[in-house]
Amino acid sequence: MADAWHYNYTDFGEGHGRSPQPVLRAVVGVATPGAPSRFAAIIDTGGPITVVASEVLRSGGDPVERNESMLLRLGGSTNEVGLYDLTLEVRPPASAPDATPIAWRSVVAVLDPWPHHGTAVILGQTGFLDTFTVTFGPDGFVLEPASVFRERFAQQGDPG
């Protein structure tokens, strides 16, 4: 990832007729390495961990079960979800079609059946925000390596 990847927000058409503004989501294309298709993945800055549908595991990514679980509330219900090590790659935005996807391996929570009315991947703190610098602006968001944040704000951490 030599350059910052600039993405537009996505309007899936949620809440039309009710919301005062379109509901805009920060969505990137995520896939298991080499898979022809990708999953629309919502970046959830409040999410503690990346969560995927079990179908995502079946598409590749060398999933390895960690024999650990956690309680997670998703889709209005609380579930005990299994944790896996999984390799995913984020695909570049439409504005950078020649850029190479960036792969990373991390822990994901796998929920089956998938209750979320949206995408099959939700990118959270563990498994995404600990790997990339994501900058949100009013008209779009930017994905960069984690090192960018450390360089930009070196030694400016919260002393408290």
Partner 1 sequence: MSWCFVCWGCPWSPGFPGFPYRLQSAIYYRQPPDRVTSNGYAPIMVRTLDLTPWAGRWVAVDSHDHVCCDAPTLAELLDALATAGLGDVEVMRAPAPDEPVVYGLG
Binder of partner 1 out of 138, 157, 159, 160 (CB under 8 A): 138
Site string for partner 1, 90-109 (x = CB under 8 A): ----x---------------
Tokens of 155: 């030694």
For position 86 contacting partner 1 by CB under 8 A, the verdict is: no
Rank residues 46 and 157 by Cβ distance to partner 1 and give the closer one. Answer: 46
**What is the closest distance, in whole angstroms, from the C-beta atom of residue 68 to partner 1 in the complex?**
19
Q: What 8-state DSSP symbol labels residue 54?
A: H
Q: In this structure, are residues 33 and 103 in contact, taking their beta carbons and an 8 Å threshold? A: yes
**Residue 81 tokens, joined:** 């979800």
71 makes contact with partner 1 (CB under 8 A): no
DSSP 8-state symbol, 62: -
Strand order in the sheet with 140-145: 5-7, 140-145, 132-137
* Contact with partner 1 (CB under 8 A) among 23, 96, 99, 107: 23
Interaction of residue 53 with partner 1, rule CB under 8 A: yes
| 22 in contact with partner 1 (CB under 8 A) | yes
Structure token pair of residue 106: 């991390």
| Token pair of 90 as six digits | 């984020």
**Three-class DSSP category at 160:** coil
5: which strand partners?
143
Contact status: 149 vs partner 1 (CB under 8 A): no
Of 83, 108, 122, 143, the one binding partner 1 (CB under 8 A) is 122
Q: Decide: residue 21, CB within 10 A, 0-12 exposed, 13-18 middle, 19+ buried.
A: exposed
Residue with Cβ nearer partner 1 (106 or 145):
106
Contacts to partner 1 by CB under 8 A: 8-19, 21-24, 27, 29, 36-40, 44, 46-47, 51, 53, 55, 58-59, 72-76, 94, 114, 116-120, 122, 124, 138-140
